Amino acid sequence: MSIWWCVPVLLLVWLAARGGRLKRAVGRVVERRLGGYRHEVEPADQTLPREVGGAAPRVAVLGGGLAGIGAASALGERGIAVTLFERNAYLGGKIGAWKVPVGNGEQTVEHGFHAFFRQYYNLNEFLDRLGVRKDFRAIEDYVILHADLEPQSYGNVETVPALNIVDLGRRGFYRWRDVIPKRTRERLDSFVRFDMERTYEAYDAIPFGRFCEEADLPPELWLSFRTFARAFFSDEANLSTADVLRAFHFYYLSHDHGLLYDYPAGDYETTLLAPIRAHLEANEVEIRLSSPVSEIERGEGKRFRIEREEYDWVVMAADIPGMQSILEHSAWLQEVDAELVRNMQALRTSNGYAVWRIWVDRDVRAGLPTFINVDRKRLLDSVTLYHRVTDEASAWVETHGGAVLELHNYSLPRDLDDDEEIRRVFLEELHHYFPELQGLAIS
């Protein structure tokens, strides 16, 4: 639903009522106009029983990431016998954690820092039930560094939809004269007129980079969009404009939380995975780590056979390559559900990503938040100051000095696949944005 209708009126109201009751009244009007900020997409059928009666069916869940954890938890809570298969030696998929040697000791590492945005309603409610989010911290700011432009900060931007657009102008993200030209205005209007069907019909085949070039965006706004788009594990030359419009709607224009978020104040094994594992086991979910599934065999009657055991149902929650491999080795499923197999095999993966955590002998300059976005030159997309996140990293710095930094790239260039070269470019760009780190030593 569009909110562009109210921007001129809201501009006047905002100028007259910053911080006052009138602004809060405007927020309520916008929320009503949007039909509320929370929409139930698939309501539960309350006529069905909460738990199964009689003999519990057996369900195999393939994949121990968030999708598999969610499925196993929901089924286990309802009295269904669940076996969760995970190929890695750790639970969690992209929120998994494991130990690595550092110096004479060990440190816990993950796939990379994760932001838990406040509009992740379903995930946050699940974590609240487990008592996990009480140990989360709020990020100090959402900052983007650029080589030639002033740093961008979203920390104090208005959070009410429509007001947040107006406030970006006041804070220098754009000037009104830059967005008034017809071709710019029409393309920006597509952000506030997001519709799942019409937006994809119009924009799915258009690369986001081309969309922004045709919009003739001012540099500051182009920086924001470019940085935002890259966080979705692709680059603007290959990313669907429709996907970016949907994401921008979800992350910025459909709620009043803004771009700030929370994050676990500790390593993921302690703060996330241990409580999740305890919850699953309390609901009698059998967790099998280091247990890759290569195929699904036809069982007796309508059942499925996995690793010589029979199941009534299978939940496919692995990543795309994993599921494609399983289906490729389960030829009989082609006869049973050819459309499922065809759709799954048609899915593509994004470019790879890179995460490099380093224990160094010096810290970054003061005044930066825990997580910092940068405008990628070739590789570096963001930096996390991990000694502010986990007790382990903090203790290491207390002993050795310096800092623990995590360098992120969300979409590896296809011509960059050598680990040593990736590390070299990471450091080169780290020094570009943080010259105070020149000459650092890595433990």
Residues 270, 246 share a domain: no
Pick the last residue of a domain from 293, 313, 346.
Answer: 346
Residues 71, 204 share a domain: no
Residue at 128 is within a domain: no
Supply φ then ψ for residue 36, to 5 degrees.
90, 160
Residue at 223 is within a domain: yes
Distance CA 161, CA 163 (A): 5
CA-to-CA dists, residue 42 to 39, 46, 117, angstroms: 9, 12, 21
- Per-residue pLDDT at 8: 57
Q: How many structural domains does the chain have?
A: 3
- Per-residue pLDDT at 19: 60
- Per-residue pLDDT at 18: 58
Residues 33, 168 share a domain: yes
Residue at 142 is within a domain: no
Nearest-5° angle of CA 327, CA 329, CA 330? Answer: 60
Domain extent at residue 194: 4-38+159-253
Residue at 169 is within a domain: yes
DSSP 8-state code for residue 248: H
Residues 200, 329 share a domain: no
Supply φ then ψ for residue 407, to 5 degrees.
-100, 135
Residues 429, 360 share a domain: yes
Q: Where are the alpha helices (DSSP H) in 401-441?
A: 419-433
The model's pTM is 0.90
- Residue ranges of the chain with per-residue pLDDT less than 50: 1-3, 5, 16-17
Residues 361, 341 share a domain: no
Residues 226, 308 share a domain: no
pLDDT (tens digit per residue) in 43-90: 888 898 888 888 889 999 999 999 999 999 999 999 999 999 999 999
- Per-residue pLDDT at 371: 97
Cβ–Cβ < 8 Å for 136, 117: no
Residues 8, 78 share a domain: no
User: 81 — alpha (psi -120 to 50), left (phi > 0) or beta?
Assistant: beta
- Per-residue pLDDT at 16: 44
Residues 306, 229 share a domain: no
Cβ–Cβ < 8 Å for 408, 422: no
